[in-house]
A and B are shown apart, each in its own frame.
Chain A
Amino acid sequence: MRTELVVAVLLAFAPSAFAGQGTAASYLQGLEREAASLGGFAGFSAARGERFFKTVRGDWACATCHTKDPLDAGQHARTGRDIAPLAPAANPERFADARKTDKWFRRNCNDVLGRSCTALEKGDVLVWLMSLK
């Protein structure tokens, strides 16, 4: 417990040492800033994120490949390729690399919605995913 406290204090004062490696929480903070800058932002909602994730649009929902329970591994709807679990509790790498996360939001929102997801939509989904244990 003492070691964790020391590490937490060091991390709080040395963010630049970890510039290359973020966390799901830091990615969420970035989304929060973006959503807030657009006006009318009243916070993210896990319930809204869950609905968004499971809503089928055209052929697919996010859940089509990532499954309705993102603690589970998924499968690509077309190629059959395995997809590691999306929820950070099941897969701690998720959302820790901002560029990788940006890339996959870009690709997969285009696949499912035919457009980019808004910061609000991404934040809602991420808040829901982070709530899964």
Chain B
Amino acid sequence: MARLDRHFGTDASVEPALAARIGAYLRAHAGAARRFGSASRISETAWFREEHDDVARATWKAPAVRSAANCSACHTQAARGDFSERHLTLPMETRR
């Protein structure tokens, strides 16, 4: 949270008051390192990899997806924090 202006190569900074609130939430709800590991990217945690182990390499590379940071490419309600399978739509190769 202290380095949001250098967030994986881009500036993701927020106003200090919001940064404090997000930081407090993260500290209060952090999972155990034992289970989730200490990878700095969510997409590099064992948990994420298990959840997505049936996603083909080709899907990650599809123009509509391109990266594991692009959650809403498949998780259509990601912006609302809803990652349930109910709202999952895998992109077609021809989209975009």
Q: Please tell me if B9 contacts chain A, counting CB pairs below 8 Å.
A: yes
What residues of chain B lie closer than 8 Å to A80, measured between beta carbons? 63-67, 69-70, 73
Q: Mark B6-44, 1 if CB is under 8 A from A, else 0.
A: 001111111100000000000000000000000000000
Specify which chain A residues have a CB less than 8 angstroms from the CB of B70 in the assembled complex.
76, 79-81
On whether the beta carbons of A107 and B67 are closer than 8 Å, the reply is no
Q: Knowing A80-B73, A81-B72, A82-B72 touch, does A108 contact B11 (C-beta < 8 A)?
A: yes
Interface contact tally, CB-CB below 8 A: 38
Taking Cβ atoms with an 8 Å cutoff, the residues of B that contact A are 5, 8-15, 63-67, 69-70, 72-73
Question: How big is the A interface, by class?
Answer: 10 to 19
Smallest beta-carbon distance B74→chain A, Å: 12
Complex alpha-carbon distance, A80 and B63, angstroms: 8
Residues of B within 8 A of A81 (CB): 69-70, 72-73
Q: Which of A79, A108, A110, A111 contacts B67 (CB 8 A)?
A: A79
